[in-house]
Copies of this chain bind each other. A is one copy, B any other.
Amino acid sequence: MHTDSQKSEFHKIRMARKKAQIDAAIARADQKKGLLLVITGNGKGKSTSAFGMVARALGHGMKVGVCQFIKSRTDTGEEAFFSQFPNCEWHVLGDGFTWDTQNREQDIATSKNGWQVAMKMLTDSSYDLVVLDELTYLLSYDYLDKDEVLNGLSQKPEMQHVVVTGRSAIAELRELADTVSEIKDEKHAYKSGIQAQKGIDL
Q: A56-B200, A196-B29, A199-B60 are in contact. Are A183 and B186 (CB under 8 A)?
A: no
Q: Is the CB of B56 within 8 A of A77?
A: yes
Of B12, B31, B55, the residue contacting A55 (CB under 8 A) is B55
Query: At the interface, yes or no: A105 with Cβ under 8 Å from chain B?
Result: yes
Q: Is the CB of B31 within 8 A of A193?
A: yes
Q: Which residue of B lies closest to A161 (CB)?
A: B200
Q: Which residue of B lies closest to A22 (CB)?
A: B99
Residues of chain A touching chain B, judged by Cβ–Cβ distance below 8 Å, are 7-8, 11-12, 15-16, 18-19, 22, 25-26, 28-33, 35, 37, 39, 41, 43-45, 47-60, 62, 76-82, 97-105, 128-129, 161, 174, 177-190, 192-200, 202
